[in-house]
Amino acid sequence: MTPFSRITVGKNLTVTMFLGGWALMIGVGMVPGTLAVTRLVATARGRLHALGFVAGYLSLWFLIGVVGYVVLLPLAPAVRWAGAGAVLVATAAYELSPLKDACLRRCRSPLRVLLRPSLAGGVRHGFDCAGCCAFLMVLMVALGLMSLAWVGLLALVVLVQKAAPFGERSPRVLALALATAAVVTWI
């Protein structure tokens, strides 16, 4: 893999396209699910603090995108070899994991964000959201599903998991749907 200091124009375009798609995915897929927390910060501390919260949240997600690009680029041939089914099964398994459950619980009760300075609270909340959605993001990137329709579906899944009254139970349903999709790809 080429270090960032030696990226050529062609590779620059690849990095730019990936990070542009990543930014779009974050803007459409993740930001709507955190609007309630942003409103909480704005109400408790004011709009300027809400901007700090959002800056921390978005900065962390952008950093995750850069790290994801660096980590996933060398794995691209393996993902192509393993196929979509393997990525779908891994995502389904993660949806049922204790880590996913713990991160989702923290995302769904964001009052602890107020116990930190706004910028740090945004970063912490971003880590919690990343823990909830890590494999969903890997799925989107690995399968090349960074189209607006798929990102919209991701946004709906994230919003349901974070905000809907039945959101805590939704990972089980999603895991079943992902496992079913994996079986369909292998048939």
User: d(Cα 137, Cα 24) in Å, to the nearest integer?
Assistant: 12
Query: What is the DSSP secondary structure assignment for residue 115, as one 8-state letter?
Result: G
* Closest C-alpha among 104, 117, 1 to residue 50: 117
pLDDT digits (tens, 9 = 90+) for 13-47: 577 888 888 888 888 878 888 888 999 999 999 99
pLDDT digits (tens, 9 = 90+) for 119-155: 999 999 999 989 988 888 888 777 765 567 777 787 7
User: d(Cα 95, Cα 134) in Å, to the nearest integer?
Assistant: 10
Q: Are 56 and 116 in contact (CB under 8 A)?
A: no
The amino acid present at 23, given as its one-letter code, is: A
pLDDT digits (tens, 9 = 90+) for 56-106: 999 999 999 888 888 877 777 776 666 778 888 999 999 999 999 999 888
User: d(Cα 179, Cα 92) in Å, to the nearest integer?
Assistant: 6
N residues, the chain: 187
Q: Write down the pLDDT at residue 24.
A: 83
